[in-house]
A and B are shown apart, each in its own frame.
Chain A
Amino acid sequence: MGKSNLEMKTSTITTKNKEDHSSLKGTLYFVLFVGSFILVSWFAVFFLYLSRI
C-alpha cells in the first residue's frame, strides 16, 4: 500500500518536472528573434540599395 503511494507520488512529480524540463519555449523565441533580426537587417540594406540605383 504505502509503496504504491510513494510510487504514485514520485511519478507525478517526475511527470510535472518533465513537462517543465522539456519545454524549449525560450529556444523558440530565440530562433524567432534570430530569424527576424536577419530579415530586418537584410531588408534595411536592400532598401538602401534600391534608393541608390
Chain B
Amino acid sequence: MRQSNVVIDYKYDNEPDISVDPRDGKLGMVHIHVAFVAFIIGVFGGLLQGLARGGMIQLPTWLGYYQILTAHGVLLALVFTTFIIYGFFFAGMSKTHGTFSSRLRKTGWVGFYIMLVGTLIATVLILLNEASVLYTFYVPLQGHWLFYAALALVIVGSWISAVALLTHYFKWKKANPDKPTPLFGFMTTATLILWMVAGLGVAATVLVQILPWALGLTSEVNVLLSRTLFWYFGHPLVYFWIMPAYMVWYLVVPKVIGGRLFSSSLARLAFVLFLLFSIPVGFHHQLMESGVTEFWKYVQTILTFVVVVPSLLTAFSIFATFEQTAREKGGKGVIGWIKTLPWGDVRFFAPFMGMIVFIPAGAGGIINASFQLNSVVHNTLWVVGHFHLTVGTTVLLTFFGMAYWLIPVLTGRRFTKHANRCGIVQTWLWVIGMFLMSGAMHILGLFGAPRRTAYATYGDHPQALQWFEGIFASHVTVAIGGVILTAAGVLMFYNFIHLAFLAPKGHTEFPMTPDPVDTPNTPAYLENWKLWIGIAVVLILFAYTIPIYEMIVNAPPGSPPFNFLIK
C-alpha cells in the first residue's frame, strides 16, 4: 500500500520536459504583461494610501483618496489576479493537455482582448475620477455608466477565455474516455466552472440593476438586492484567487522539492468541495446588514464553515508531502527534516512563505465568519489587514513564486541565479512589510479604526488620536510597512522585466508534478461534472431563493444615486 513520494519511477524520471507550444506561450504571456503593469500602478496607489492615512503626506487636490483606493483595489485584487490566473491556465493546459487547436487559441485571444479593453476603459475612468466607487462598486454610490459596462466586458471576456480552456479539457476527456483527466485540467475546470456560475450574480446586478440606473433609465435602485448579488459573486471570487494558488501548491511545489503529491483523489475531492460550497455563502459578508433574516444568515454561515474543510485538507496534504519527501531524502527528527527542503530556491520559498501566512489569514477568516465576532471587526481596518494576508500575501507570493519559472518558460529564457536571489530578497521584504502593515491594521481594527477612510482625527477625539500614537498599533506602522512593501513591489516588477526581456535565452523547466500513483484508481464519480454542477446549483437555490424572493417582493425603498459623496 505504501507508496514512495519521491520521484524514483523510471518512467517519470525520463519523461521529457514537454515545453509549451510557443503560440500558446504567447497567449499566456500577454496576460502576464497586463498583470504586472496593473500590479506596479496598484502598488504605488497602496503606498500613497498608507502615507496619506498616516498623516505623513497630503494628497494633491487633483488626486482623491477614494480615487486611489478604487484604482488600488481594482488593479490589484481584480486585474492582476484575473490576468495572471488566465496566463497560468493557458500555459498549463497547453503543457498538460497538448497544444490548443488554432480555433480555440483564437477564442482565447478574443477573450483576452475583450478583457483588456474592459480593463483599460475602467482604469481610465477611475483615473479621471469618474468612477470613485471602490472596487466593490456598491450602490447607491454611482460612477459613470461606462465603468460598469467596462466591468461587464471584463467578465464576458473572461467567460470566452474560460470556454476555450474548458473545451480544450473536454476534448481531451473525450479522446481519453478511460483515463482520469490530468490533475491540472481537473483543477482548472473546477475553478472556471466556479467562476462562470459566480459571475452570473455580478452580471445580473450590473446589467439589470446598475447599468440602467447609471444611464438614468431608472431613478432608484434596490440596494439590498444589489449587494446580495455582488456577494453571491464576491465570495467565490476569493476562491477563484486561492484555487490557482492551491494548484501551484499541489502541482508545482512537490516537483520543485523533488517529490510527488501523495493522493490524487484527495486533491480532486478538495476542489470539488470548493466548487460546491464556496458559492452559497455570500451572506457572511452581510452579517451586519438588515433585510436578511437570521435564519438564512445562519444557514450560509454553516456552509461557510463547511468550506473551511477543503482548505484544512490542503494544509494537511501539502505538509505531509513536505515531510514524506524530506524523510525519503534522509531528513531526520520530528522537525529536523525541514532542513532538507530547498530553502534557497524561490520557486519553493515564495509559495512556502505564502502558506505560513495563510495560518493567521485563515484563522482571521474564521473569526470574520463568526456572527458575534464579525460585529467586532466589521468594516474596521482588521478586514483590510485580513485580506492583505489572504490575497495580498498568500495568493500573491504564490503567484510570484510561479512567475519566476513561468515567465522564462513562456519567453524562452533562462531562470537566472540573479532572479532567484532577487526573488528571495523580494519574498522577505514582502513578508516583513506585510507583517508590519497587516499586523498593525488588525490591531487598529480591534481598537475600532474604520476601513476606507482618508486621514481623519474625528475632531481630535482621544480614541482616534491614539490610533496615531501606539508603537505597533498605529497608522504610522501601517505606513512604514507600506513603504517596505512598495520596495518589495518595485523589486518584483524588476524581476518581471528581467525575466520577460533581459534574461539570456535558454531552457527553463516547467515544474509539473507527475500525477500521483493512485491516479488510475481515481473514483469515476469525481470526474462527473454534471453531478457536481447539479449539486452546486441545488445548494445555491436552497441558500438564496427565499431570501432573494423576499428582497424583491418586500423590497426596501429604492435609493437615488449618490455620485458626489467621496469624490
Q: Which of B316, B332, B363, B372 contacts A41 (CB 8 A)?
A: B363
B363 and A18 within 8 A (CB): no
Contact A42-B370, Cβ < 8 Å, known A27-B320, A31-B319, A37-B360: yes
Please, which residues of chain B bring their CB within 8 A of the CB of A45? 367, 373, 376-377, 446
CA distance A31 to B320 in the complex (A): 10
Determine whether A5 belongs to the interface, using a CB cutoff of 8 Å to chain B. no
- As a 0/1 sequence over residues 3 to 39 of chain A, the CB contacts with chain B under 8 angstroms (1 = contact) are 0000000000000001011111111011100100110
Cross-interface CB contact of B327 among A23, A30, A37, A41, cutoff 8 Å: A23
B334 / chain A contacts, CB cutoff of 8 Å: 25-26, 29
CB neighbours (8 Å) of B310 from chain A are none
| B509 CB–A CB distance under 8 Å | no
Residues of A within 8 A of B171 (CB): none
B372 contacts A37, CB within 8 Å? no
- A26 touching B323 in the complex, CB below 8 Å, given contacts A31-B315, A46-B373, A48-B376: yes
Supposing A41-B360, A49-B375, A49-B376 touch, asked if A27 and B366 sit within 8 A by C-beta, the answer is no
Chain A positions within 8 Å of B335 at CB level: 26, 29
A33→B164 CA distance, assembly (Å) = 43
Report A-chain residues with C-beta under 8 Å of the C-beta of B535: none
Interface range on chain A: under 10, 10 to 19, 20 to 34, or 35 or more? 20 to 34
Structural contact, B370 and A21, CB atoms closer than 8 A: no
* Closest chain A CB from B463 CB (angstroms): 13
Interface mask (B320-362 → A, CB under 8 Å = 1, otherwise 0): 1001100110001011011000000000000000000001101
| B530 close to A (CB within 8 Å) | no
Inter-chain contacts of A42 with B (CB < 8 A): 363, 366-367, 370, 373
B interface residue count range (under 10 / 10 to 19 / 20 to 34 / 35 or more): 20 to 34
Q: In angstroms, how far is the closest chain A Cβ from the Cβ of B177?
A: 35
Contact of B315 among A26, A34, A46 (CB under 8 A): A34
Distance to closest chain A CB from B223 (angstroms)? 28
**A27 cross-chain contacts in B, Cβ below 8 A:** 316, 319-320, 323
Complex contacts, A21 vs chain B, CB 8 Å: 324, 327-328
Q: For residue B312, which residues in chain A have a CB less than 8 angstroms away from its CB?
A: 34
Residues of A within 8 A of B73 (CB): none
B359 touches A34 (CB 8 A): yes
B433 to chain A, nearest CB (A): 22
Residue among B324, B363, B370, B376 making CB contact with A37, cutoff 8 Å: B363
A42 to chain B, nearest CB (A): 6
Tell me whether B98 is interfacial, beta carbon within 8 Å.
no
Is B450 in contact with chain A by the CB < 8 A criterion? no
Chain B residues contacting A30 (CB-CB under 8 Å) are: 319
* B5 closest partner in A (C-beta): A21
Contact present for A26 and B338 (CB under 8 Å) = yes
Chain B residues with Cβ below 8 Å from A49 are 372-373, 375-376
Chain A positions within 8 Å of B377 at CB level: 45
B2 on the A face (CB < 8 A): yes
B210 to chain A, nearest CB (A): 35
Closest to B2 in A: A22
Contact B366 A38 (CB under 8 A): yes
Chain B residues positioned under 8 Å from A25 (CB to CB)? 323, 334
CA A48 to CA B377, docked complex, whole Å: 11
How many angstroms from the CA of A34 to the CA of B358 in the assembled complex?
10
Q: How far is the CB of B447 from chain A (nearest CB, A)?
A: 10
Measured in the bound complex, the distance between the Cα atoms of B363 and A25 in whole Å is 23
B358 (CB) vs chain A CBs: closest residue:
A34
The reply on B258 being an interface residue by CB < 8 A is: no
Chain B residue nearest to A33 (CB atoms) is B359
Chain A residues whose CB sits within 8 angstroms of the CB of B366 once the complex forms: 38, 42
For residue B477, give the distance in angstroms from its CB to the closest CB of chain A: 20
How far apart are the CA atoms of A5 and B274 in the complex, in Å? 53
Within the complex, which residue of A29, A31, A52 is in contact with B316, where a contact is CB–CB below 8 Å? A31
**Nearest Cβ distance between residue A18 and chain B, in whole angstroms?**
7
Q: Does residue B364 face the partner (Cβ distance < 8 Å to A)? A: yes
Q: Are A38 and B328 in contact (CB under 8 A)?
A: no
B338 surroundings in chain A (CB, below 8 A):
26
Please name all residues of chain A whose beta carbon is closer than 8 Å to the beta carbon of B359 when the two chains form the complex. Answer: 34, 37
Residue of A nearest to B373 (CB): A45
Q: Which residues of B contact A29 (CB under 8 A)?
A: 334-335
Report the minimum CB–CB distance from B104 to chain A (whole Å). 41
Q: Is the beta-carbon distance between B332 and A20 smaller than 8 angstroms?
A: yes
Bound complex: CA A37 to CA B359 (Å): 8
CB distance from A44 to the nearest CB of B (A): 9
- How many angstroms between the C-alpha atoms of A49 and B376 in the bound complex? 6
Q: Tell me the minimal C-beta distance from A13 to chain B in angstroms.
A: 13
Instruction: Output the least CB separation between B548 and chain A (Å).
Output: 30
- Residue of B312, B319, B332 contacting most chain A CB atoms (<10 Å): B319
Cα distance, A46 to B373, chains bound together (Å) = 6
Given A26-B319, A26-B323, A30-B319, list of 5 further CB < 8 A pairs? A23-B327, A25-B323, A26-B337, A38-B363, A42-B373
Q: What is A's interface to B at a CB cutoff of 8 Å?
A: 18, 20-27, 29-31, 34, 37-38, 41-42, 45-46, 48-49, 52
26 residue pairs A–B, Cβ–Cβ below 8 Å: A18-B2, A20-B332, A21-B324, A22-B2, A22-B327, A24-B323, A26-B319, A26-B323, A26-B334, A26-B338, A27-B320, A31-B316, A38-B362, A38-B366, A41-B364, A41-B367, A42-B366, A42-B373, A45-B373, A45-B377, A46-B370, A46-B372, A48-B446, A49-B372, A49-B376, A52-B376
Listed from nearest, the 5 A-B pairs whose CB atoms lie closest are A21-B327, A38-B363, A41-B363, A26-B323, A27-B320
